[in-house]
A = this chain, B = another copy of it.
Amino acid sequence: MNANIKKVEYAVRGPIVQRAVQIEKELKEGVKKPFNEVIKANIGDAHAMGQRPVTFFRQVLALCSYPELLDDDKFPEDTKYRAQRILKACGGSSIGAYTASQGIECVRQDVSRYIERRDGGVPCDPDNIYLTTGASDGIVTMLKLLTAGEGRTRTGVMIPIPQYPLYSAAIAELGAVQLNYYLDEDKCWGLDISELQRSLQAASKHCNPRVLCIINPGNPTGQVQSRERIEDVIRFAAKERLFLMADEVYQDNVYAEGCKFYSFKKVLYEMGPEYFNTVELASFHSTSKCYMGECGMRGGYMEVINMDSEVKAQLTKLVSVRLCPPVPGQALMALVTNSPQPGEPSHAQFLKERTATLGDLAQKAKLTEEILNTVPGIRCNPVQGAMYSFPQITLPERAIREAKEKGQAPDMFYCMKLLEETGICLVPGSGFGQKEGTYHFRMTILPPADKLKILLSKVKEFHQRFTKCYS
């Protein structure tokens, strides 16, 4: 078998999650546990945590699935209009037909108008938009296109540490070289250009660094990059001729006061033509996060700018081999980027639902940070954005020794004990990467507020018990 696949690791669905699924089965079978349910705070899966789908989206999807409903008075006119527009763009007016491999043209137009609005008028060409099967698919496709070589000429891909493990998994699978740059936990997981420089210099002897990945807002670290920092990154990428991959799937998930989402595209544009016409950039978005939380639909897009036209032709060919992204996900992306406008019948309810979800998340971000910081031995940066807290935990020496004797990462040992004793499923920091000698876990802020409070107080109790037990 393929040796690269053996090297792939994916903590978000790793051994701890497998054990959680097993425990759920045991509970169902009546096995006695010190808890009644498993709470999965390991993955950003909003609907599974009780968030309701946006009514407008689901009405249009129902209409697209079963167009006989277009005669039904229950559906507002704007849902019918959207459904008819999508159906008209599908072969045989069916979402069961293949679409263009790059995605339905009118959906790519919706996406490009959305990007233009988001970025205050920066132009966006629908030909630069590729619809994808979730953001993961886009990221893997782009890495596949950009990585090459053997031995010392292998492509180096710079990724943040801590990182979302899709990156390390894809790099391992492709046989490329993972180049770590560390985010500064003491500066709220800030990005420091001198650290990028260090990482690049250390790498250039043994590989060919060509790609720089940024996750903003940060996953698992929840920080939101400032405009100045994004400018620094762009200057760095321009100077070092790196292809920028901007993972911007949490672009609506910004909670902290004073923080704002700036897209790499917008900043690039505003830095002037010497940057906007030269720096190669791919930006990724998804229907899975923000206020939508539609993970199961596997919708997403990427915008690709300044890519060499021959390479772009290769990208277009590459995506054609998979025929097309799932059409329900494409349709959903059309709705996200062309949502109800003032004056349309669905507007009020849409706005209410979106505002409630984002407001709720902002509150839970604050709550999580506050409660975790009351625990001696847990230190949590502000959750400025995205959907996760990534606190540092202090582990007693004896626990670290015992974990190592078991061949486990100390924070895996901790999270496994937490799961067995409380039913709470978190992901150990070692699955994302962290500075040697530090320990963390990633926890989503998605459970409903009352459940989140219980979860946090259970984590608190557990941490105190664990610390006492191993001190």
Residues of A with Cβ closer than 8 Å to B?
1-3, 5-6, 8, 10, 13, 21, 43, 45-53, 58-59, 61-63, 65-66, 69, 72, 74, 90-92, 94-101, 133-134, 136-137, 140, 144-148, 166, 169-170, 173, 292-298, 311, 314, 317-318, 320-329
A147 partner residues in chain B, CB cutoff 8 A: 2
**Alpha-carbon distance between A99 and B292 when the two chains are bound, in angstroms:** 17
A329 partner residues in chain B, CB cutoff 8 A: 326
Q: Closest residue of chain B to A99, judged by CB?
A: B296
Are the C-beta atoms of A2 and B148 separated by less than 8 Å? yes
Are the C-beta atoms of B317 and A96 separated by less than 8 Å? no
A66 partner residues in chain B, CB cutoff 8 A: 58-59, 61-62
Minimum CB–CB distance for A204 against chain B, Å: 19
- Selected contact of A325 from candidates B145, B293, B294, B298, CB within 8 Å: B298
A-B pairs with lowest CB-CB distance, top 4: A48-B91, A296-B327, A62-B66, A47-B94
Are the C-beta atoms of A2 and B145 separated by less than 8 Å? yes
Q: A69-B62, A326-B329 are in contact. Are A10 and B321 (CB under 8 A)?
A: yes
Are the C-beta atoms of A43 and B297 separated by less than 8 Å? no
Are the C-beta atoms of B97 and A45 separated by less than 8 Å? yes
**Alpha-carbon distance between A255 and B66 when the two chains are bound, in angstroms:** 30
Are the C-beta atoms of A47 and B146 separated by less than 8 Å? no
Are the C-beta atoms of A324 and B296 separated by less than 8 Å? yes
Q: A1-B314, A66-B61 are in contact. Are A293 and B148 (CB under 8 A)?
A: no
**Alpha-carbon distance between A47 and B327 when the two chains are bound, in angstroms:** 13
Q: A145-B1, A323-B13 are in contact. Are A96 and B137 (CB under 8 A)?
A: no
- 6 chain-A/chain-B pairs, Cβ below 8 angstroms: A47-B90, A72-B74, A133-B298, A136-B323, A173-B318, A298-B325
Greatest chain B CB density within 10 A among A98, A101, A144, A326 is at A98
Q: Closest residue of chain B to A294, judged by CB?
A: B96
Are the C-beta atoms of A318 and B5 separated by less than 8 Å? yes
Greatest chain B CB density within 10 A among A13, A65, A169 is at A65
A145 partner residues in chain B, CB cutoff 8 A: 1-2, 5
Q: Closest residue of chain B to A94, judged by CB?
A: B47
Q: A62-B66, A66-B62 are in contact. Are A8 and B296 (CB under 8 A)?
A: no
Are the C-beta atoms of B65 and A61 separated by less than 8 Å? yes
A43 partner residues in chain B, CB cutoff 8 A: 98
Greatest chain B CB density within 10 A among A69, A295, A323 is at A323
Are the C-beta atoms of A322 and B3 separated by less than 8 Å? no
Are the C-beta atoms of B48 and A98 separated by less than 8 Å? yes
Q: Closest residue of chain B to A320, judged by CB?
A: B13
A324 partner residues in chain B, CB cutoff 8 A: 295-296, 298
Minimum CB–CB distance for A118 against chain B, Å: 23
Are the C-beta atoms of B8 and A96 separated by less than 8 Å? no
Are the C-beta atoms of B136 and A321 separated by less than 8 Å? yes
A8 partner residues in chain B, CB cutoff 8 A: 317-318, 321
Are the C-beta atoms of A98 and B296 separated by less than 8 Å? yes
Q: Closest residue of chain B to A67, judged by CB?
A: B58
Are the C-beta atoms of B322 and A50 separated by less than 8 Å? no
Greatest chain B CB density within 10 A among A72, A74, A92, A173 is at A92
Greatest chain B CB density within 10 A among A65, A296, A314, A318 is at A296
Q: Closest residue of chain B to A69, judged by CB?
A: B62
Are the C-beta atoms of A314 and B6 separated by less than 8 Å? yes
Are the C-beta atoms of B1 and A146 separated by less than 8 Å? yes
Q: Closest residue of chain B to A147, judged by CB?
A: B2
Q: A66-B61, A321-B166, A326-B329 are in contact. Are A296 and B5 (CB under 8 A)?
A: no
**Alpha-carbon distance between A48 and B92 when the two chains are bound, in angstroms:** 4
Minimum CB–CB distance for A144 against chain B, Å: 6
A137 partner residues in chain B, CB cutoff 8 A: 322
**Alpha-carbon distance between A96 and B328 when the two chains are bound, in angstroms:** 11
A328 partner residues in chain B, CB cutoff 8 A: 65, 296-297, 326, 328
Are the C-beta atoms of B97 and A48 separated by less than 8 Å? yes
Are the C-beta atoms of A148 and B90 separated by less than 8 Å? no
Are the C-beta atoms of B144 and A97 separated by less than 8 Å? no
